[in-house]
Amino acid sequence: MNRTILLLTGAMLISAACGNDPAPDPLTTAPSITSLGPKNSATNVIRNATVTAKFSETMALATINGTNFTLKAGLTAVPAVVTYAGTTATLTPNAILAANTVYTATVSTGVRDLQGDSLASAKVWTFKTVATPVTGPAVVNLGTAINYVILAKSAITTTGTTAVTGDLGISPAAATYITGFALSAPPTTFTTSAKVTGKVYAANYAVPTPSNLTTAVLDMQNAYTAAAGRTIPDFVNLGAGNIQGMTLVPGLYKWGTGVLIPSAVTLSGGANDVWIFQIAQGLTVGNGAIITLTGGAQAKNVFWQVAGAATLGTTSQFKGIILCKTNIAFNTGSSILGRALAQTAVTLNATTVTNP
């Protein structure tokens, strides 16, 4: 035993004499933070951002909490939920962050690793949210597509007691692809229907209707592209695509998924405020779902850019302008205060369509 101790001591002395320092003990090395989200001094940060801190090693779960990981706007604490997974702590604010505001995130020395070692010093960083105008983004220019409450390229069909207030248009498809409306004959530059308080236009009607519709369809497609191309969104992937029960302020909203409205959503803003919803997949509105406008908000200033199909459930009450890459389907008894502008087809079933 004594010989072993002497040998180990001798080896350590020889190592020291040769200039080799003993390796640091990993059990007593202070943890560090290796990455931050948002980054320090970041600007144009989305208003539903989460704040993250990734550690150099596994931390003690009990120390990753709302006391040791905080977010403030000036001196005001932001109510939030703090979670921990892997080596990353995440702070999720309880409400959307304010626009054009500097926030300060802090991870204190109260956080500790599994051996009880704390950060050498508190980590403090700042970021600034996107500067959103009070009225939201600029409106989407519909061009001559604004002359139609329903505009489609391949078909417009209806069953049941549909009632449309406003003009319909189809191009490049002919009038034979407008079905269920019992169109009057013979057509001139337009025709009529007992189900439409307005005029019905098709690509095979008398001039100048064909060229007018060609222009309107191009304007519809340009409006879709313009809405999809808006940058620096205020909200990204809000509700993971399910916006049930939310009250949405004016702004630019972006989802990399579809959007679901099971029964209700409210848009709260003034008469000149604008909402643009960029949806990478489909839009699904539940049976009986209602979109409510409050504070003077107007349907003509609400734009739903939908890359997939838009499906409105039975008796649902929709508000806004749908710019759809594919088809828009209205189920029995549904209604829309707005416009249905589809790059394929629009199908109606005892649907009420009202010009906004």
Annotate 151-199 with DSSP letters as a single string: EESSEEEEESS-EEES-EEE-SS-GGGEESS---SS-SS-EEETTEEEE
* pLDDT band at residue 210 using 50, 70 and 90 as cut-offs: very high
Predicted pLDDT at 95: 74
Predicted pLDDT at 135: 60
Q: Closest Cα partner for 355 from 298, 304, 316, 278?
A: 298
User: And the tokens for 113?
Assistant: 């690793």
Q: Does residue 220 contact residue 343 with C-beta atoms inside 8 Å?
A: yes
Predicted pLDDT at 130: 85
**Angle (CA) 99 100 102, round 5°:** 110
* pLDDT band at residue 212 using 50, 70 and 90 as cut-offs: very high
pLDDT at position 298 over 70: yes
pLDDT at position 24 over 90: no
- Alpha-carbon distance values, 347 to 66, 241, 259, 273 (Å): 51, 24, 20, 30
Mean pLDDT of 291-314: 97
Predicted pLDDT at 234: 85
User: And the tokens for 189?
Assistant: 């530059």
pLDDT at position 17 over 80: no
- Tell me if the pTM is above 0.85: no
Question: Please, which residues have CB within 8 angstroms of residue 256's CB and are 6 or more apart in sequence?
Answer: 237, 280
Predicted pLDDT at 272: 84
Predicted pLDDT at 48: 76
* pLDDT band at residue 275 using 50, 70 and 90 as cut-offs: very high
* pLDDT band at residue 228 using 50, 70 and 90 as cut-offs: very high
pLDDT at position 55 over 60: yes
Mean pLDDT of 212-225: 97
| pLDDT-wise least confident of 16-20, 102-106, 178-182 | 16-20
Over the chain, what is the mean pLDDT?
A: 91
Better-scored residue on pLDDT, 291 or 137: 291
* pLDDT band at residue 136 using 50, 70 and 90 as cut-offs: confident
Rg (Cα) of the chain, in Å, rounded? 30
Mean pLDDT of 160-171: 98
Predicted pLDDT at 339: 98
User: And the tokens for 152?
Assistant: 């489609």
